[in-house]
Structure 1
């Protein structure tokens, strides 16, 4: 049997995984999006269900000042003595911290901060009860740095010391420390989270070193290879109940020519084998494919179907995110039952302020998304619609707006310093169905008076212009509902009855 990569598609980078019994739990980074740190569960490492987020309260996570690709960087999840621990970095305020929970599906604790610089923190629980906290990019230089901490308080019990600088690649980061057999293994990613990305490993008889590099490093890389998957790195190891070893890691899938990727960095899976000398090898001698042998994984069937959110529940489903910390004045599920109501804030899609924005990740190259909007803007500058969003400088939107005293339907593109309405027409009715249809090269935007009618084509934008190679940053494309008052709070609510998302291809 075989499985298909990525195992979690769309913007889900920097995966970390742990196993408790026959259950696997995985987290990824979330940057400026709230709630923070998506949390997944699986029985087979291949089919993952998002069961929530780790950081769900503003007391845990303040993103109000987070810029594009700021906020929450790479997390690590571990389990010890009945508790789950997740540690991460808020680069936009607070630094390194961890939270814990006895039930990962429930509420997690308030943050416990650790006075240690760097990013990509790792927690390692040794057999003697010692807890080691390892980060990368200390102020003293690049490499993996470590201290012992009191897990109850987060206070350091030792000075921060250098463990290993890696093999010479730039940006050694994503440290993970393991005890496997008689050795302590320290795994890093080097080369930067781009096309030169790679995973390296070293080992020591002690958790604090000295560490000796693996003679066949890197143990995972796709640099300079003709593969559909690139930038593989930022890996974490987990052992299955049957004793098999596996790695989860990020990668990208560029499309077109020149090759560019817009879905973001995604989560991949590969088997891990061990040499006679006790060194790990990820995948096929350090490379992986879109289709991989499943080994003894107890694969469970999963179907990819259309999803439609009717906003008739008390809370939003786990797939939905806010852009930065949500302002309760900007949204409601109760103002009009059965609808998501957005109240436009002063912030626009071109700002780094707290916008009225609720979106989900694009997880497939080819998909159809549509939403019914009821909106009768009363004041100039009021606007609501559907946006394909990479960051504040790169996005496409179709919207109903009021400009110069007239209500209009518009399609607009923001590409760097270019911000232009590409198409517009008068629009008088209060209700409209907005849509976007994507393939690997284009987003095609349309509208209809109701969902029974085929959409009328109204504008299009190139997928490649929202790619990381153009737009920069560490995130991926979102499909979102939004509203704005364009510098003033809107007086007119925007009602979204539903949003549907249907994949047309495998992830």
Structure 2
């Protein structure tokens, strides 16, 4: 783990190899993450497992190093098969994570926000979308995480808010927690490998 503010603030344009501030959940599967398939962006390929599964998941993130911070990304993703999903996430473990993104369900593409607390998941916002590119943002404070999206990076729409304590190791009641909160990008096929890649042009970490 990095200490202090080393490698934390600023923008990663994914123009070169990922720095040591980036981490995976378990060992990454070969081919699930690439910065060469589409040079200048990070490409993620969803696997069968999702963020609530104990298994090989497509997730790349950075440790949250400040209570008050803002994380933003530009995502291009047009899923074509039911179950395909990608977006941004703040994660403690399989039982505690918040995400916002785009998924395909019953033939429709939906932008959504989902809160998972103590293993129970709840969709708090969901709307149909035809956008190919979206800007996603997670803002953290001492008390909560705010999830929002934008079509133009100017006008932001709130999708939901989750308790910061629920992501904290302090909310652990059953087992040990050793990672703390990690914010990052993910993709999943929710039960099957996804055929549609998700592209992320950049990732901002603002204090």
Moved more, 371-380 or 413-422: 413-422
The residue that corresponds to 1:408 in the other structure is 110
Aligned with 1:424 (options 99, 122, 126): 126
Aligned with 1:458 (options 150, 159, 170): 159
- Note the C-alpha offset of 1:394: 0.4
Greater RCO, 1 or 2 (C-alpha within 8 Å, sep 6+): 2
Secondary structure, counterpart of 1:464 in structure 2: coil
2:2–2:21 CA contact under 8 A, matched in 1: no
The residue that corresponds to 2:194 in the other structure is 490
Aligned with 2:79 (options 377, 381, 385): 377
The residue that corresponds to 2:13 in the other structure is 310
- Note the C-alpha offset of 1:405: 0.8
The residue that corresponds to 1:393 in the other structure is 95
Cα distance in 2 for partners of 1:489, 1:469 equals 34
- Note the C-alpha offset of 1:495: 0.1
Rg larger in structure: 1
Secondary structure, counterpart of 1:465 in structure 2: coil
The residue that corresponds to 1:479 in the other structure is 183
**TM-score where L is the length of structure 1:** 0.39
2:33–2:42 CA contact under 8 A, matched in 1: yes
Ranges in structure 1 where 5+ consecutive residues have no aligned partner: 1-37, 41-46, 51-304
Cα distance in 1 for partners of 2:152, 2:59 equals 23
After TM superposition, what 4+ stretches of structure 1 lie above 4 angstroms from structure 2?
A: 47-50
Cα distance in 2 for partners of 1:373, 1:48 equals 26
Secondary structure, counterpart of 2:165 in structure 1: helix
State how 1:192-341 maps to structure 2 within 5 Å.
306-313=9-16, 315-341=17-43
Cα distance in 2 for partners of 1:467, 1:370 equals 21
- Note the C-alpha offset of 1:458: 1.0
The residue that corresponds to 2:205 in the other structure is 501
- Note the C-alpha offset of 1:469: 2.3
- Note the C-alpha offset of 1:358: 0.7
Question: Alpha-carbon deviations, 1:91-140, whole Å to 9, x = none?
Answer: xxxxxxxxxxxxxxxxxxxxxxxxxxxxxxxxxxxxxxxxxxxxxxxxxx
The residue that corresponds to 1:287 in the other structure is none
Alignment coverage as a number of residue pairs: 204
Cα distance in 2 for partners of 1:48, 1:364 equals 9
- Note the C-alpha offset of 1:429: 1.0
Question: RMSD of the TM alignment (CA)?
Answer: 1.6
Cα distance in 2 for partners of 1:318, 1:490 equals 27
Task: Name the CA shift for 1:48/1:445 in 2 (closer, same or farther; >3 Å).
Answer: closer
The residue that corresponds to 1:66 in the other structure is none
Ranges in structure 2 where 5+ consecutive residues have no aligned partner: none
**TM-score where L is the length of structure 2:** 0.94
Secondary structure, counterpart of 1:469 in structure 2: helix
Cα distance in 2 for partners of 1:48, 1:343 equals 30
Secondary structure, counterpart of 2:166 in structure 1: helix
- Note the C-alpha offset of 1:431: 0.2
Task: Name the CA shift for 1:337/1:443 in 2 (closer, same or farther; >3 Å).
Answer: same
- Note the C-alpha offset of 1:419: 1.0
Aligned with 1:468 (options 151, 169, 193): 169
- Note the C-alpha offset of 1:407: 0.3
- Note the C-alpha offset of 1:464: 0.7
Secondary structure, counterpart of 2:170 in structure 1: helix
